[in-house]
Structure 1
């Protein structure tokens, strides 16, 4: 079933003409209000996050307006279960903070509020406005926004500041109404990604919007409108102005969340992949390199559908492997003419450092991923040495053996000479996997016991369970939450 068919079943069938006229009016006027009542859509209250409802209820009781908006509404209308629920309100971040004791203001350049219920985070944003107030909205020389805290008076103003029409559909929980100001419902029904406002201006304000357009197209199977797609090839170079920490996060979203293969194809089509991975420019016309990446991404997409986690270090190991091999070959040629040649391992280490240093200019690879990548690639040299059984057993006991073997096995599909080594290591891999499952089961059992005791203690002390917010956090959980918040701020270029 296509996305379009799914959307058609989510809305009353007699709405097609209404949606079409609304979109035509948007094209003429820039904005046109459309309200769908409870008889015209099938969003059920039972499908909404109870914590999001609690946030909206709290804001409403405090005298503010609040709506669900964005991806959660898009997902509900397409018959999917949203992973995140975002709330938009006329309350300022400081006012939201006063309403909810279990909340924190995140960021300075673009302030938002995280209301925390255990592991569930409801993101609350204040209505934005397109008004130019220099002290609160600042751009650099290229037009990219570096500060944007101009608050709007209502959702009409807020809708203008959102990126794409399908992400600017609001849901009024109290009235059970959908509100659309930019023809987002029409575009959703027709599988179209359409940017709000002037595409060139909006891409200049935030070049990552180009990546988001391509990602939504890959993820949803939607087409981009002509005006949305047209500037990307020319303006893609603006992505070099975005912080490498933020681009690292965007690359993860592109390739690790179940639509990596489609992302790879569409990024190549618009010339954006080689901007994110500059070393790929030398291999763009090499079908074997493309097939290797495509096969790896298809496997990663399958893992995601099976609720298995995809790791950034493995993604980068795949994307940069051919670049690394070429660099090793080049260094070996130079090494042959040296009076005192260096070892193959040192050549590999030098090649690794050079490749990562160049990639870090675009995407800031964290140290943990850097180390895991290095271990993965180092083992590629060792897995072809099966002469000593003791050394093989020691190698298989390494914590990173299974990931390195997965990569080795992936390579064997394109380098047939590795097949006999794969067959040798497979029993070691199977045993390592079995031991890992046993260890995981024991850890989960221990964690369950710990949380059960903690829930009882918290309830006895406060009368509430441990999912109520920050009060229940231990030091490790607090540090983890704060670390994730800091990583998010850095990735969004929000740190001062």
Structure 2
């Protein structure tokens, strides 16, 4: 178990010394807090919502911590359901909004609680209840261990989190190595939260991460997929990627991508990847939809390019090599991150359509324009310009093709090529191979 502060010291920050206001808190969260208080229980807004409000953010989720047990919470709210085995929680449902209510948890188990740990230190189940002081010292980061009280509108701090938020630091509570061994995904959370909040990871918190990165292999692939969505689809993808690189986590999460980037001496593949993530951040900023399929097409493209180059170097025909490389990269990545088929199959289609953008035969042009994955594949082709201008003519042609009426485009294509309508495929342009990226031209 982590090193615990034997006597956590309460610092009470009064309303006039902080900027958390009830007007910025979900009315449903306030409803839960007041009903728990009126029933005689202690209850606080806790964690990320308090942290985000302190830095001027707008939380999407509001969590409550209380001394009421999950069963007692359920008795108070007809719209409540109990979930979880590892951490038993109460979800109070208000339409599309869920207020998560957790009972104060403790680290010490006198035998009356429900805790199970792996021999390596990883916590498998943790339902040992305690006091608010116990709850504070067992949370992961000091910035997440702040409690907002509706009785006097104060913020209560037991572990120095208020100062760390002010100084923009992510600091683990307890011994960092022990806490990471308890739950290796905390390493990803440190990187993700630092990227989201523009915080620095405190030096003692950062030091063990490269040494313990391999522990991510013990985490459930489905959980790592969800963590990837939080890192890369919430508006801070570039900063998260750079954090993974900086702290030695990229190779643990995306091993084949990391190997491809390391072998690509020109840096073209990394430029393309960062450009794709930057575009994703821009879409989130504009409140436009973002697709996990497109995201993973970007993240795994370096691995695909490297695998394709290896297969072609071994003499495999380009069409077969493309399909084989796409399957190989997908299957290997599933060992780490559980990418569902509803995303992996469109991801592969985006890759496999790339080689068709160089074709100009009329039937093929119209067939590609009508492909359900055309727009995503074209956007992906446009992102590849960050690595090389080799595809600039293709991007320009297909951009114009989308804007022209069908008959005008058909006439233009008929005038451009004397190729017959037999359906015979035109000869593909020969492209120079470059290190690590035969498919990308990068």
TM range (shorter): 0.7 to 0.9
Counterparts of 1:226-375 in structure 2 under 5 Å?
Answer: 226-279=203-256, 280-284=258-262, 286=264, 287-335=267-315, 344-375=318-349
Q: Which runs of 5+ in 1 are unaligned?
A: 1-25, 337-342, 433-496
- How many residue pairs get aligned? The number is 399
**Once the 2 structures are TM-superposed, how far is the Cα of residue 63 of structure 1 from its aligned partner?**
2.4
Tell me if structure 2 keeps the 8 A contact 1:86–1:124.
yes
**Once the 2 structures are TM-superposed, how far is the Cα of residue 29 of structure 1 from its aligned partner?**
6.2
Tell me if structure 2 keeps the 8 A contact 1:137–1:148.
yes
Tell me if structure 2 keeps the 8 A contact 1:405–1:429.
no
**Once the 2 structures are TM-superposed, how far is the Cα of residue 310 of structure 1 from its aligned partner?**
2.4
Indicate which of 117, 121, 134 corresponds to 1:143. Answer: 121
State the alpha-carbon separation in 2 of the partners of residues 249 and 352 from structure 1: 22
State the alpha-carbon separation in 2 of the partners of residues 195 and 431 from structure 1: 57
**Once the 2 structures are TM-superposed, how far is the Cα of residue 350 of structure 1 from its aligned partner?**
1.5
Instruction: Name the TM-score, length of structure 1 as normaliser.
Output: 0.77
Q: Which runs of 5+ in 2 are unaligned?
A: 406-442
Alignment CA distance shift 1:28-1:130 (3 Å): closer
Query: Residues 167-213 of structure 1, C-alpha deviation per residue, up to 9 Å, x if partnerless?
Result: 10100112211100001111111111111111111111011111111
Find the counterpart in structure 2 of residue 399 from structure 1: 372
Tell me if structure 2 keeps the 8 A contact 1:210–1:232.
yes
Tell me if structure 1 keeps the 8 A contact 2:235–2:284.
yes
Tell me if structure 2 keeps the 8 A contact 1:35–1:178.
yes
Name the structure where helix makes up a greater proportion of residues: 1
Find the counterpart in structure 2 of residue 112 from structure 1: 89
Query: Residues 320-341 of structure 1, C-alpha deviation per residue, up to 9 Å, x if partnerless?
Result: 11211221222223335xxxxx
Indicate which of 357, 381, 393 corresponds to 1:408. Answer: 381
Say which SS state the counterpart of residue 395 (structure 1) adopts: helix
Tell me if structure 2 keeps the 8 A contact 1:284–1:290.
no
Indicate which of 29, 39, 42 corresponds to 1:62. Answer: 39
Find the counterpart in structure 2 of residue 488 from structure 1: none
Q: Residue 91 in 1 paired to residue 64 in 2? A: no
